């Protein structure tokens, strides 16, 4: 008998949820991560008494009561509601697009006036079947919003022209004819008090964890330790890039400590013009209504991904999706390995989705149990 039932590669949300769920069923897990900390991309670094979202701003939101109850076992959540502000050439607009935004743009005061303004702009464009992000955005909100709040931000974020991007990316941004700045439509939302590490520590409580440990450096050793491997790293790396690398969009984070209590008055300010090289500035203390005398901000610069860089957003175009399918076929024939999470599935997952996916996987593998 081997020392563990599972060696879980990756201490992010997928790996930690999987290990927790397996342990609840009496199974023995070893979790490893090549980074120096657990948590994957939800890791928070505490500096100056402030939890810094080290790999980008993370706001927990879900419509699923089961997932909400599950995460609330490990941390209490505050009442944070994401309400980003857009800065376009020094003008400020509320996001997502709602009655406040329309008033700031055009002075319209009623839903009917705002709808009329948008209809006038949209109908002048004659876009019957939007074929790309540019046409989709124009057909949804018209020229003014597209030019000021979408085009520059989108083209920076993706490093491609909006007309060369798929339409679905923009469909997830709400357009509302109410005075409601809540970025998400979900029923449950908040930031875990104490930061995301509290949840990860709770999930991994009592489970052996080895950091600075790369599975790919010594696969045979880890297979000798565990009956099965749960792999949450990149699928192309697992198969030695046999079909070529899968592409990602990367990010560079510039963290800065400022000796003042309040830099921008909001957790998230998007910079929507093309000429400013970063997409947004995050002021972390506002996620937790911090009252410290000091602050930490992070500028987020989109970057073209190259092998070796951190992988953030999968570029799910036709070519990459086809390549992924080849890897997925190989993965299906690896009997002793379970693949899961955003890197192994080459999929953009929100946190609630990745937790849901890990819980569903353990439920399929081990059957129903009381907790999830
Ligand atoms: P990861 O967190 O990437 O964990 C994988 C782990 O595996 C990593 O720790 C890695 O070091 C480790 N690993 C990889 N290869 C190896 C190896 N060979 N050996 C050992 N270890 C290895 N979601 C939301 O719900 N709300 C948000 O506001 C939000 N904002 C986001 C902002 C940004 C900029 C990004 C990029 C994502 C955001 N997300 C958000 C999504 C969220 O980050 C993911 O859902 C979640 O982190 C995915 O967890 P995971 O375990 O699949 O992957
Ligand atoms: N977007 C935009 N202007 C903004 C914010 C978002 O045009 O101020 C567009 C952009 O194309 C982005 C998409 O909307 O890729 C989805 O935005 P979201 O905030 O969901 O992006 P993410 O959280 O994935 O970075």
Q: Is the pLDDT of residue 170 over 90?
A: no
Atom number in ligand 1 closest to CA 349: 45
Question: Using 50, 70 and 90 to split pLDDT, how confident is the model at 369?
Answer: low
Q: Is the pLDDT of residue 166 over 90?
A: no
The verdict on 77 and 9 lying in the same domain is yes
- The verdict on residue 280 lying in a domain is no
Q: Is the pLDDT of residue 87 over 50?
A: yes
- The verdict on residue 330 lying in a domain is yes
The verdict on 212 and 74 lying in the same domain is yes
Q: What is the mean pLDDT of the chain?
A: 95
**CATH number where 209 lies:** 3.40.50.720
- What pLDDT, on a 0 to 100 scale, did the predictor assign at position 365? 93
Give me the domain span that covers residue 110. 85-170
- The verdict on residue 258 lying in a domain is no
Q: What is the CA radius of gyration of the chain?
A: 22
Annotated catalytic residues are 172, 176, 249, 280, 300, 348, 350
Q: 200-241, pLDDT tens digit by residue?
A: 999 999 999 999 999 999 999 999 999 999 999 999 999 999
Q: 102-139, pLDDT tens digit by residue?
A: 999 999 999 999 999 999 999 999 999 999 999 999 99
Q: Per DSSP, what are the bridge partners of residue 169? A: none
Atom number in ligand 2 closest to CA 137: 7
- The verdict on residue 253 lying in a domain is no
Residue that is last in its domain, among 170, 198, 225: 170
The verdict on 320 and 243 lying in the same domain is yes
358-366: which pairs have CB atoms within 8 A and are 24 or more residues apart? 358/13, 358/14, 358/15, 358/17, 358/18, 358/21, 359/17, 359/21, 359/67, 359/70, 361/18, 362/17, 362/18, 362/21, 362/22, 362/25, 363/21, 365/338, 366/21, 366/22, 366/25, 366/27
The verdict on 204 and 57 lying in the same domain is yes
The verdict on 58 and 24 lying in the same domain is yes
Question: Using 50, 70 and 90 to split pLDDT, how confident is the model at 367?
Answer: confident
The verdict on 212 and 349 lying in the same domain is yes
Mean pLDDT of 347-358: 97
- The verdict on residue 116 lying in a domain is yes
Q: 246-297, pLDDT tens digit by residue?
A: 999 999 999 999 999 999 999 999 999 999 999 999 999 999 999 999 999 9
d(CA 326, CA 98): 42
- The verdict on residue 164 lying in a domain is yes
Distance 176 CA to ligand 1 centre (A): 30
The verdict on 121 and 107 lying in the same domain is yes
In this structure, which ligand is nearest to the CA of 37?
A: 1
Task: Please tell me if the CB atom of residue 312 comes closer than 6 angstroms to any atom of ligand 1.
Answer: yes
pTM, two decimals, is 0.95
| Residue among 36, 232, 357 to mutate when testing ligand 1 (max atoms within 8 A of CB) | 232
The verdict on 35 and 143 lying in the same domain is no
- The verdict on residue 301 lying in a domain is no
- The verdict on residue 275 lying in a domain is no
Distance 232 CA to ligand 1 centre (A): 9
- What pLDDT, on a 0 to 100 scale, did the predictor assign at position 372? 43
Atom number in ligand 2 closest to CA 151: 7
Question: Using 50, 70 and 90 to split pLDDT, how confident is the model at 370?
Answer: very low
| Residue among 159, 173, 269 to mutate when testing ligand 2 (max atoms within 8 A of CB) | 173
The verdict on 38 and 139 lying in the same domain is no
The verdict on 131 and 9 lying in the same domain is no
In this structure, which ligand is nearest to the CA of 146?
A: 2
The verdict on 241 and 358 lying in the same domain is yes
Could you give the percent of the chain with pLDDT greater than 70? Answer: 99
Is residue 99 helix, strand or coil? helix
- What pLDDT, on a 0 to 100 scale, did the predictor assign at position 368? 65
Q: 28-60, pLDDT tens digit by residue?
A: 999 999 999 999 999 999 999 999 999 999 999
The verdict on 158 and 97 lying in the same domain is yes
Work out how many domains the chain is built from and give that number: 2
d(CA 259, CA 243): 49
């Amino acid at each position: 008998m081997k020392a563990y039932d599972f060696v879980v590669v990756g201490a992010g949300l997928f790996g930690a949820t999987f290990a927790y769920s397996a342990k609840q069923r009496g199974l023995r897990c070893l979790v490893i991560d090549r980074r120096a900390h657990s948590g994957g991309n939800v890791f928070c670094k505490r500096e100056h008494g402030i939890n810094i979202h080290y790999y980008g701003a993370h706001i927990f939101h879900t419509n699923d009561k089961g997932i909400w109850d599950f995460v609330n076992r490990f941390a209490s959540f505050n009442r944070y509601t994401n309400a980003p502000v857009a800065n376009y050439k020094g003008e400020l607009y509320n996001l997502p697009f709602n009655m406040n935004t329309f008033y700031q743009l055009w002075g319209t005061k009623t839903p009917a006036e705002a709808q009329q303004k948008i209809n006038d702009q949209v109908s002048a464009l004659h876009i019957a079947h939007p074929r790309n992000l540019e046409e989709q955005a124009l057909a949804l909100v018209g020229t003014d919003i597209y030019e000021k709040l979408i085009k520059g931000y989108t083209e920076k974020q993706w490093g491609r022209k909006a007309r060369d991007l798929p339409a679905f990316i923009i469909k997830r941004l709400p357009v509302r004819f109410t005075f409601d700045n809540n970025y998400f439509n979900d029923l449950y939302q908040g930031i875990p008090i104490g930061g995301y590490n509290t949840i990860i520590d709770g999930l991994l409580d009592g489970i052996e964890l080895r950091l600075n440990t790369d599975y790919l450096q010594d696969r045979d050793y880890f297979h000798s330790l565990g009956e099965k491997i749960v792999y949450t790293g990149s699928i192309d790396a697992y198969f030695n890039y046999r079909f070529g690398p899968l592409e990602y969009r990367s990010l560079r984070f510039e963290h800065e400590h400022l000796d003042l209590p309040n830099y921008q008055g909001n957790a998230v300010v998007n910079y929507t013009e093309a000429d400013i090289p970063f997409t947004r500035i995050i002021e972390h203390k506002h996620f937790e209504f911090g009252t410290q005398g000091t602050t930490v901000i992070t500028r987020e610069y989109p970057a073209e991904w190259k092998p070796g860089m951190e992988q953030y957003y999968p570029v799910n175009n036709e070519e990459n999706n086809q390549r992924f399918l080849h890897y997925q076929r190989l993965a299906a024939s690896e009997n002793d390995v379970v693949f899961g999470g955003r890197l192994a599935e080459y999929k953009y997952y929100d946190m609630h989705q990745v937790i849901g996916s890990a819980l569903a996987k353990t439920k399929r593998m081990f059957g129903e149990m009381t907790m999830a």
